[in-house]
Structure 1
Amino acid sequence: MYLSDVLPTAWQAVEYANVPNGGSVAVLGLGPIGDMAARIAAHKGFRVIGVDLVPERLARAKARQIETVDLNDAGSELGGLIRDMTHGRGPDSVIDAVGMEAHGSPTAKLLQQVTSFLPDAVAAPLMSTVGIDRLHALYSAIDIVRRGGTISLSGVYGGMADPIPMLTLFDKQIQLHMGQANVKRWAPEILPLLTDANPLGVDTFATHELPLDHAPHTYEIFQKKQDGAVKILLKP
């Protein structure tokens, strides 16, 4: 049931992170993709540091022996805190599983909200040509990753007018890997893990199973991060 969405995206995020053997990776955002990416990275033997601000998501990661950082506590010191956890150098890789929904940019948030009220015929070209994303998570990834490290973007960014700190990317020699999940490409590597041993906890990954007619409610609690909603299955 997860082969078609969460697993391929999370698997690709970890593969694109290019974590060296015995290396470390920070996962920004422990929603469905970030949570599964953290599990996959840990299964591959990497040191994983998960970052989020939702208590239930942090608790899920901790339950699988993944190191966690509460963004509510770290705040603007997140980069320094994670560098302290990695002997001052930063993790080898960072997975941005947040994307443009990141907290931390009130102006961009307002622009997104205003655009959502526009007619589709007006909003679509506006977002594709002058859209501005909330880049807080990406900026954090650039700050956190070690020099010569890799950032894997699985969080979606859709703007065309985003200010990217090219000088910092160049100076730190950061590699960026991103893109839509190539499901068929990763299926042969994922399938052997879908066994009774259940190393990734796939069978219990969903936090809610609700009937299809509860769809509006499920979107609401997921968006508002209520009731511990991380992954919801809708059943006809």
Structure 2
Amino acid sequence: MRALCWHGKNDVRVDSVPDPSILDPTDAIIRVTATAICGSDLHLVDGYQPTMENGDVLGHEPMGVVMEVGSAVKNLKPGDRVVVPFVIACGCCYFCSRQLFSHCDDSNPNAEMARKVMGQSPAGMFGYSHMLGGFAGGQAEYLRVPYADVGPIKIESDLPDDKVLFLSDIFPTGYMAAENAGIEAGDTVAVWGCGPVGQFVIQSCWMLGAGRVIAIDRVAERLQLAADKGRAETINFDDEDVYDKLMEMTNGRGPDRCIDAVGTEAHGAGSMDAVIDKAKAALMLGTDRPHVLREAIRCCRKGGTISVPGVYVGMLDNFPMGPAMNKGLTFRMGQTHVQKYLAPLLEKIQDGQIDPSFIITHRLPLEDAPRAYDLFKGKDDGCIKVVLHP
């Protein structure tokens, strides 16, 4: 089959690789009909995520049609149309039984590798390094899906792929981020990052009762989409000081909830901390550029909440723990427990509360995936979200 493979920093290619096969009785094989590029894929391309290996198949936002199932799979059959969540979960361990699917104890075969770095291992994930399982990803013609009775959700209506594909990651990720923020009716929520996850964070904030949503970015197309589709007030951090503007907009109190939908590769419009972060990363003296997280801590009101769906990789320099402690901030973060959100968010799509396809700007064949990555990374041609079709 054809698949998009990682060959090193800034080097991805579409290669011919062996077709996947059933390895365990709980497996299914999916023929991929649509798959997307995620912002966190760029952390792999940029070389920040450790334990990638030459030839690894990328991608964790796929959907398709079931072709084959293992002998233990009861909920799926060939011909079923499914969306596959990026988190791989067994469904029955201590954490899965509490709907903490991204903490699954059993789905990462390389748990010891992760434990040495993190203290404990998160769940396995598709296409996201050997520390997280070494599973082949979904930017491919076919995909092996472990624990197939637990992960994929069947699409039994005629909803097109474009409307349901993002159940695989960014819609649940945005929703869980807003939920983690603890939004109360009428709250002011500031969202850093108007990329795909940030756009779903904005939508979800309204669903959960926000009174105001303020979106922060520097890319004109993203800010416009946040304003038009997200009904958000916007701040362009190239043009205005974020802290000063937020204080002005909130009468000096600060936003009630702050959401970092950027993560490890934040830009800072020339701010000194961001310049230092970038220099350290270039010299391999640091892994993360947490400018947004620092800024959110500074801006958030006393007693507020900071939610972090943005991916971080390693240790953060100059983390403002003193301000966070003295302001009494609450932090909630983590990889998304996608399986928990699949059914309720599918219902919202079916009921017409949201059409997630609004985020798509580019559709390309899988063979054009390297060019698609360049478009997405460079934010060229108004690119916000790319869907690939094998």
State TM-score, norm by structure 1: 0.87
Bigger helix share: 1
Indicate if the aligned counterparts of 1:30 and 1:58 stay in contact, CA closer than 8 A. Answer: yes
Q: Where does residue 70 of structure 1 map in the other structure?
A: 236
Bigger strand share: 2
Q: Where does residue 187 of structure 1 map in the other structure?
A: 342
Indicate if the aligned counterparts of 1:94 and 1:151 stay in contact, CA closer than 8 A. Answer: yes
Shifted more, 215-224 versus 52-61: the winner is 215-224
Which residue of 6, 13, 17 corresponds with 2:181? Answer: 17
Indicate if the aligned counterparts of 1:40 and 1:200 stay in contact, CA closer than 8 A. Answer: no
Query: In structure 2, what residue type is equivalent to 1:52?
Result: D
Q: Where does residue 32 of structure 1 map in the other structure?
A: 196
Query: In structure 2, what residue type is equivalent to 1:109?
Result: K
Q: CA RMSD in A?
A: 1.5
Give the CA deviation at 1:167: 0.9
Runs of 5+ in structure 2 lacking a partner?
1-164, 269-273
Tell me, in whole angstroms, the C-alpha distance in 1 between the residues paired with 2:354 and 2:253.
29
Runs of 5+ in structure 1 lacking a partner?
116-129
Q: Where does residue 120 of structure 1 map in the other structure?
A: none
Q: Where does residue 221 of structure 2 map in the other structure?
A: 56
Indicate if the aligned counterparts of 2:258 and 2:307 stay in contact, CA closer than 8 A. Answer: yes
Q: Where does residue 214 of structure 1 map in the other structure?
A: 368
Give the CA deviation at 1:35: 0.9
Q: Where does residue 279 of structure 2 map in the other structure?
A: 110
Query: In structure 2, what residue type is equivalent to 1:204?
Result: F
Tell me, in whole angstroms, the C-alpha distance in 1 between the residues paired with 2:316 and 2:180.
25
Q: What is the aligned residue count?
A: 219
Query: In structure 2, what residue type is equivalent to 1:164?
Result: F
Indicate if the aligned counterparts of 2:277 and 2:286 stay in contact, CA closer than 8 A. Answer: no
State TM-score, norm by structure 2: 0.54
Give the CA deviation at 1:182: 0.5
* Higher normalized contact order (CA 8 Å, seq sep 6+, divided by chain length): 1
Q: Deviations over 1:35-62 (max 9, x none)?
A: 1111111233311100000000001011
Q: Deviations over 1:180-200 (max 9, x none)?
A: 010012223312211262x33
Larger radius of gyration: 2
Query: In structure 2, what residue type is equivalent to 1:70?
Result: N
Tell me, in whole angstroms, the C-alpha distance in 1 between the residues paired with 2:208 and 2:334.
22
Query: Equivalent residue of 1:234, what SS?
Result: strand
Query: In structure 1, what residue type is equivalent to 2:227?
Result: K
Identical aligned residues as a percent: 41
Does 2:308 match 1:144? no
Tell me, in whole angstroms, the C-alpha distance in 2 between the residues paired with 1:22 and 1:143.
22
